[in-house]
């Protein structure tokens, strides 16, 4: 009987140890699954925050782009004494193109239709400058070009800029909600 008791006790100890090991295994497995799920959630949340920050910066830059190519800001920033109308025209067009290329990657973060509005406005601004320049006499001064650009823009392209700016701001507001 002693051997039988020893066998039964040994078997009971093995079974109890096995139960503890299985319980520990399942507990740790559940713990690591929850830990991994939390890590994935935190990573996605972090990427989501980063994506929102990138979108916010894109909207900020594109609003600045619109302000910088608006006729009144553009002309007043670039008019220089003793400069020909031709030189002013070239500098205005180059500035618009440079601003556009500087911000071209921001299209990744805004709606396609909003980006197309910006592209079309940029093209219209360049066409306006070219058209106004073409209507001037050869001896026109840079101030003549500047005045005529401001006048023409107030009646055409300049009127398109404000609604686009409002829509960008509205999109930005939706992003924050």
Distances (CA, A) of 54 to 34, 46, 107: 30, 12, 11
Rounded to whole angstroms, the Cα distance separating 166 from 163 reads: 5
pLDDT of residue 31: 62
Angle between helices 85-102 and 142-155 (to 10 degrees): 50
- What's the token pair of residue 36? 């991994």
The answer to pTM > 0.75 is no
Rounded to whole angstroms, the Cα distance separating 157 from 10 reads: 92
- What's the token pair of residue 31? 């713990």
pLDDT of residue 177: 67
Q: Quick one: which of 101, 100, 105 has its CA closest to 121?
A: 100
Per-residue model confidence as pLDDT tens digits over 9-68: 777 777 777 777 777 777 677 766 776 777 676 666 666 777 888 889 999 999 999 999
Per-residue model confidence as pLDDT tens digits over 99-154: 999 999 999 989 999 999 999 999 999 999 999 999 999 888 999 999 999 998 88
Rounded to whole angstroms, the Cα distance separating 120 from 125 reads: 9
The beta strand positions in 7-109, using DSSP E, are none
């Amino acid at each position: 009987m002693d051997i039988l008791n020893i066998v039964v006790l040994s078997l009971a100890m093995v079974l109890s140890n096995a139960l503890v090991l299985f319980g520990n295994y399942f507990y740790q497995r559940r713990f690591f699954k929850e830990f991994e799920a939390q890590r994935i959630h935190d990573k996605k949340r972090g990427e989501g925050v980063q994506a929102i920050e990138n979108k916010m910066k894109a909207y900020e830059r594109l609003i600045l782009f619109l302000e910088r190519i608006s006729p009144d800001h553009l002309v007043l920033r670039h008019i220089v004494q003793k400069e020909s109308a031709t030189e002013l025209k070239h500098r205005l067009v180059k500035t618009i193109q440079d601003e556009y290329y500087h911000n071209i990657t921001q299209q990744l973060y805004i709606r396609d239709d909003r980006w197309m509005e910006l592209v079309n406005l940029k093209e219209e601004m360049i066409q306006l400058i070219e058209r106004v320049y073409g209507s001037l006499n050869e001896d026109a001064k840079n101030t003549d070009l500047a005045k005529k650009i401001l006048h023409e823009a107030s009646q055409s392209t300049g009127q398109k800029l404000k609604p686009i700016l409002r829509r960008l701001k509205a999109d930005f507001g939706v992003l924050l909600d």
